[in-house]
Amino acid sequence: MELNDWKFIKGAYITGSHWHFVILEKLERHKYQYFISQNFDSTKIEDLTAIYKNLLFVKNEIFAMVEA
C-alpha cells in the first residue's frame, strides 16, 4: 500500500479449515486500521460457497481495476 498508494487492501488468513477475511485501510503514511470478518468454516458448504464468492469478487475487482 505504501508502494502503490492504495487506500484499501483485501486479504484473508486461514487457520486449519477456518477463514477470516481482512480489510486493511491506510489512513495516512505508516498509519493503518484493519477489520476482521466473522469466521468462515471451509468444511461447511454454505461457508465454502461464500469463501469462493468472496475470492471471485476480489478477482473481478482486480480485473476491473486493471481495465480502468
Partner 1 sequence: MNSEIELKLLKEIEELKRKVHLLEGQDDHQIPTYQYRKIRDAELKKLFEIKQKLDKQIFEQWFNNPIEIEHSVEVFLNDLIAENESLVEYYHEEDLKIYLITPLLNKIKFLNREKEIRGFYELSMSYVTDQFILMVRLILSYPKA
Residues of this chain that bind partner 1 (CB under 8 A): 2-4, 10, 14, 16-17, 21, 23, 25, 30-38, 42-45, 48-60, 62-63, 65-67
Helix (H) or strand (E) holding 12: strand 8-15
| Amino acid at site 13 | Y
Q: Write down the least CB distance from residue 62 to partner 1, Å.
A: 6
| Helices vs strands, H then E, count in the chain | 1, 4
Q: Write down the least CB distance from residue 30 to partner 1, Å.
A: 5
Q: Write down the least CB distance from residue 34 to partner 1, Å.
A: 6
Instruction: Give the three-class secondary structure for 57.
Output: helix
